[in-house]
Amino acid sequence: MIIIRNLVKTFGAVRAVDDVSLDVPKGSVTVILGPSGSGKSTVLRCINHLEEPTNGEIIVDGLRMTKDSKSINAIRAEVGMVFQQFNLFPHMTALQNIMLAQRVVRKRSQAEVRDIALQQLARVGIPEKADSFPNQLSGGQQQRVAIARALAMHPKIMLFDEPTSALDPEMIKEVLDVMLELVASGMTMVCVTHEMGFARNAASDIVFMDHGKIIERSAPAEFFASPREERSRAFLRQILH
Amino acid sequence: MNRPSQPSVAPALSQRLANAPWWLLVLILIGLFAVFQILTNERSTTIFNAISRGVIVTVRTTLIAYVVALVIGLAVGLARTSSNKLIYNVASFYVEVVRGIPMLVLLLYIAFVAVPLAMDGLNRLGVVLGSAWLSALTPRNFPNEWRVVVGLGVAYGAFESENFRAGIQSIERGQFEAARALGMSYFQTMRFVVLPQVIRRILPTLGNDFISMLKDSSLVSVLGVEDITQITKLYASSTFLFFQAYSILAFIYLTMTVLLSRLVRWMELRLARGRR
């Protein structure tokens, strides 16, 4: 579904992503782990071209990413993204947030757009919040609206960029539950997260990154029980105490 | 200030008197006096009627020029946030040049240099295209009021573009990213996500600029446009009633600006109370 070949991204003199190659098969859940600054978010952001790769090749659903804005927008419509800071549009209600891109990007009819928006809001468990503005919602509810907004586009792939990192602890579970439901539905997902429980239970692949490089890629059972690389072991020791 | 034994008492009368908006009271008294004069003093009535004829011109030129300034301001403001270096530099050139020239000089320049030059250009174009209408155009076809509108619009366009630029840059990066990640184009992102938020933020500034423009529209009298200032000038110099004429002129401007600034203040409060 996603093929990344020799991806390099530099910010000035810093090589944030240094020659990363990665395949994400259809229906798989890839969880990228790593210390902060390891380039994991940058890889994610290169997939839908929020960051322009310095070098390398990214193929999403058979389409090669080029610099042409039309083709980038076409690919972005197929790739949903959820951000750490939710990034809901503050001047719109939850429902309007979910309806906007469907209408202007997918060009669906108003009635269809509304139906889908209500459906997705019910799917993430807060149908009663349709007419609430983002600042009237808790962090967990905002993030669930953000997930519904991405899902309403009927994307083929979902990218999660630390979706629970900005949440109060008691709200993390409600967002993870929505993500687990997505995993069960067979969605192709790439997640950057620090939720080890989610990684262990939901991932089909764990990718461990450090200093812009992929250090290890294994199945979750193997990664958490007996990581191959010393750096993975050091990372796990720190995370799991 | 407050003794602990009596919390939450109303401030003392003397303090309330000291804090009262005395300036407003004085202003209202002067205003009432002016209204009284205009209603009862025959000469003042005549002057007021003569001058207020120009209110329509003043309001019309201000309104149209303001719309022109908003359109220019939005386009240039977007250009100033563009990553395209050519677009950015062209827009910045305009803003810096216009902001560095006094409004009066700019108006004179546009009326007496830019418009004739543009007409000349159109004439040449008419010859090339074989259009009799284009080649017969003269600067006289471009009335002074239009020149004023172009001049004020171009001048204020530079200020408004800075408002829009600052407004756009104040919107969090995440908003652009969320919109772009959903597949929205640059223009869709601006139209549906960014600009609605920008306008909420800069509305008070836009309102205040309208008031400034209303005042600066008095400059158009130098081009012979019959706004309230020009009419007053002519009236005062033919009747020598300088005191009454200019007092009434100032009174008319003040009435318009005070009312408008109350309106802006009300808008601001409503926005502050409502959601961001």
% chain B with pLDDT above 90: 54
Q: Which of A214-218, B129-133, B222-226, B268-272 has the highest mean pLDDT?
A: A214-218
CB contact under 8 A, A90 and B193: no
CA distances in angstroms from A186 to A60, A81, A148, A158, A179, listed in the order given: 17, 17, 16, 11, 11
Residue of A41, A42, A50 to mutate, interface with B, max B Cβ within 10 Å? A50
pLDDT at A31: 96
Shortest CA distance from A92: residue in chain B: B193
CATH of A2-92+136-240, one of 3.30.450.70, 3.90.220.20, 3.40.50.300, 3.40.710.10: 3.40.50.300
Closest partner residue to A100 among B174, B192, B276, by Cβ? Answer: B192
> In which order are the strands placed within the sheet that holds A79-82?
A79-82, A157-161, A188-192, A29-33, A205-210, A213-218
A217 burial type by CB count under 10 A (0-12 exposed, 13-18 middle, 19+ buried): middle
**Mean predicted confidence (pLDDT) in B124-142:** 79
Q: How confident is the model at residue B8 (pLDDT cuts 50, 70, 90)?
A: low
Two structure tokens written together for A51:
């960051």
* Structural domain spans, chain B: 57-273
CB contact under 8 A, A50 and B185: no
CB contact under 8 A, B182 and A89: no
**Mean predicted confidence (pLDDT) in B89-97:** 95
User: A94 in contact with B at a CB cutoff of 8 Å?
Assistant: no
pLDDT at B135: 79
Contacts of B177 in chain A (CB under 8 A): 50, 83, 87
Statement: residue B276 has pLDDT above 80: no
Q: How far apart are alpha carbons A140 and A92 in whole angstroms?
A: 18
User: A88 in contact with B at a CB cutoff of 8 Å?
Assistant: yes
Two structure tokens written together for A84:
């750490």
Statement: residue B46 has pLDDT above 50: yes
DSSP chain B: ---TTSTTPPPPHHHHHHHS-HHHHHHHHHHHHHHHHHHH-HHHHHHHHHHHTTHHHHHHHHHHHHHHHHHHHHHHHHHHT-S-HHHHHHHHHHHHHHHTS-HHHHHHHIIIIIHHHHHHHHHHHHHHHT-HHHHT--GGGS-HHHHHHHHHHHHHHHHHHHHHHHHHHHS-HHHHHHHHHTT--HHHIIIIIIHHHHHHHHHHHHHHHHHHHHHHGGGGGGGT--SHHHHHHHHHHHH--HHHHHHHHHHHHHHHHHHHHHHHHHHHHHHHHS--
Q: How far apart are alpha carbons B105 and A62 in whole angstroms?
A: 61
User: B186 in contact with A at a CB cutoff of 8 Å?
Assistant: yes
Phi then psi for A105, rounded to 5 degrees?
-100, -50
**A100 to chain B nearest CA, in Å?**
8
CB contact under 8 A, B178 and A153: no
User: B197 in contact with A at a CB cutoff of 8 Å?
Assistant: yes
Statement: residue B232 has pLDDT above 80: yes
CB contact under 8 A, B185 and A153: no
**A232 to chain B nearest CA, in Å?**
31
Q: Does domain B57-273 have CATH number 1.10.3720.10?
A: yes
Q: How far apart are alpha carbons B77 and B70 in whole angstroms?
A: 10
* Structural domain spans, chain A: 2-92+136-240
Return the DSSP state at A151.
Answer: H
Shortest CA distance from A77: residue in chain B: B183
Shortest CA distance from A106: residue in chain B: B183
**A104 to chain B nearest CA, in Å?**
7
Of residues B270 and A133, which shows the higher confidence score? A133
Name residues whose C-beta falls within 8 Å of residue B87's C-beta, 6 or more positions apart in sequence.
Answer: B79
CA distances in angstroms from A104 to A71, B187, B232, listed in the order given: 16, 11, 54
Q: Is the dihedral of CA B184, B187, B191, B195 positive or negative?
A: positive
Q: How confident is the model at residue B1 (pLDDT cuts 50, 70, 90)?
A: very low
**Which residues of chain A carry a pLDDT beneath 50?**
none
CB contact under 8 A, B182 and A90: no
User: A101 in contact with B at a CB cutoff of 8 Å?
Assistant: yes
Size of interface A-B (CB pairs under 8 A): 70
pLDDT at A68: 80
Q: How far apart are alpha carbons A80 and A90 in whole angstroms?
A: 19
